[in-house]
Amino acid sequence: MRVKGAERKCLVIRSGLLVILLVLVVGVGEFVCEYTGRFQTIRTIEKVTDYEEYNLYRMEVKYEYDLDRLIEYGITDDQSLVDAIVEEALPILPVQIDVPDFGCSAFTLQEADGDILMGRNYDFRRDTSAMLVYCEPEDGYKSVGFAALDNISANTPEESMKKKLATLTAPFICLDGMNEKGVSIAVLTLDSEPVHQNTGKPVIGTTLAIRLILDRAASTAEAVELLQQYDMFASSGRDYHFYITDSTGDGRVIEYDCESENRELVATPVRSVTNFFALYEDQVLPNQRNGIYGHGKERYDKMEALFDYEEVYTKDVAWEALKAAAQEPSADDITSNTQWSILYDDTNLTAEIILRRNWDDVIGYDLKDNTLTFPD
């Protein structure tokens, strides 16, 4: 009886070990399945510039993501937005990221030859490296976007695997970009209360709206229609508007009316935007804060004066406008300190990139073949 009891005990132990081994095998298999494309993405990370601090990096997103699943996660606040992004980009592994603020200036110009340009300065008080993010989703349009790496504590991703893993969230934290249909988009901060619509539609966060447009909009009109299908949640305790342009030159600012009880979405055709409501331009004065209506009128005025003066628009004119609107660091202004300037060509699907006001170091990019060119 003792022998049989010992055999039974050994059988139980062996069975338990077998179950543990099976669980480990299944877990490893699941991890390998989930992370094969993610590690392929990590291997594409490349340092593009070689400044002393804060550089441009690039990556190709090789893993499959499900934007609808991410949105369906249930976004109710900043933490749930972060959790949803991490769950989609880094299943299994815990990574902490911050939800960013966004400053900036943007505009649309049509060159003399008909090409459509969108200029964009990304201004933010805290210094950051930038990640050029190339996406080619199976069910969407290929695109290029730019993410601020300081927001995920990964300004130098080459330093550790932890930082490289954090960059896998980059597709969902881009602050501007352009897709293969010639639609470009940028987000800019405002001074009003953060919009948090609650009309029963699915809720989408600020940077997820940018990914939505890049993946699925073939025109500015389609972008507006897409955004109208969602309730907007403005992340990080700030309010924002979006500037969208397409290859026909249809430039509109998408705003959630600060005087509307339901924060109704309004799409206004404009040539330039900064950090005030285009809806209430007549309420805004330069060189000051204007309550809920915003600030940055002086930068807007500089760009508009230049555009009104020039009879023929060229890329040189566009760059002069970006320089005029660029900002040096200021500890008192969260929307100071131009981190990058980009001139998107929505007609030819190219871009020119300058990091941190290094105006002579223009990097060229071609979305058609995902290639970079460098100054001589």
Q: What is the pLDDT of residue 21?
A: 43
Q: What is the pLDDT of residue 254?
A: 98
Is the pLDDT reported for residue 29 higher than 60?
Answer: no
Q: What is the pLDDT of residue 98?
A: 56
Chain segment 57-70, per-residue pLDDT in tens: 999 999 999 999 99
How does residue 35 score in pLDDT terms, banded at 50, 70 and 90? confident
The angle subtended at Cα 280 by Cα 187 and Cα 256, nearest 5°, is: 45
Chain segment 81-127, per-residue pLDDT in tens: 988 999 999 887 665 565 555 557 899 999 989 999 999 999 987 88
On the CB side of 286, CA atoms within 13 Å amount to 8
Q: What is the pLDDT of residue 97?
A: 61
How does residue 204 score in pLDDT terms, banded at 50, 70 and 90? very high
Chain segment 149-201, per-residue pLDDT in tens: 998 999 999 999 989 999 999 999 999 999 999 999 999 999 999 999 999 99
Q: What is the pLDDT of residue 249?
A: 97
How does residue 332 score in pLDDT terms, banded at 50, 70 and 90? confident
How does residue 8 score in pLDDT terms, banded at 50, 70 and 90? low
Chain segment 278-329, per-residue pLDDT in tens: 999 999 999 999 999 999 999 999 999 999 999 899 999 999 999 999 988 8
Average pLDDT (343-371) is 97
Q: What is the pLDDT of residue 234?
A: 96
Task: Write out the two tokens for 295.
Answer: 């600030």
Lowest mean pLDDT among 12-21, 236-245, 331-340: 12-21
Give dist(CA 337, CA 328) in Å, integer: 5
Q: What is the pLDDT of residue 91?
A: 87
Average pLDDT (255-267) is 97
Q: Average pLDDT of the chain?
A: 90
Which CATH superfamily does the domain covering 45-369 fall into?
Penicillin V Acylase; Chain A (3.60.60.10)
Domains of the chain, by residue range, sit at 45-369
Query: Closest Cα partner for 68 from 182, 216, 186?
Result: 216
